[in-house]
Amino acid sequence: MHMPDLVAWLVSGALALLGSWIIILNYSVVISWYLHRRHSSRIPLLGGLCLMAGMLASPLPGVTRYAWVPLVIDLGCLFTLVDFLYAVVWLQVFKR
């Protein structure tokens, strides 16, 4: 294995692990709120963006095609998008 391949694997692996860990934490926050009504804060965008960057840095050619998926499965990204659409579209456009 050449040095650039090794660096690509290490960077993509580290970003993928960090992003996956943050996405799992976002899910655990929502599950904890649902089951026990404990309030915590989600980490918006960071998990999805880290995992997406890890997929884009991956040396495997087919992985980059699905780099948008972490932004959809991360609850931090999903709730941020819903909050944004509510604030911009609903409050600004429809409430005039």
Q: How many Å separate Cα 58 from the centre of its chain?
A: 16
What is the Rg, in whole angstroms, of the alpha carbon atoms belonging to the chain?
17
- Is the per-residue pLDDT at 48 higher than 70? yes
* Residues 35-61, mean pLDDT to the nearest whole number: 88
Q: Which residues, 6+ apart, have CB-to-CB distance to 50 below 8 Å?
A: 15, 16, 18, 19, 22
- Is the per-residue pLDDT at 96 higher than 70? no
The span from the CA of 77 to the CA of 80, in Å, is: 5
Mean pLDDT over all residues of the chain?
A: 87
pLDDT digit string, tens, across residues 70-81: 998 988 888 888
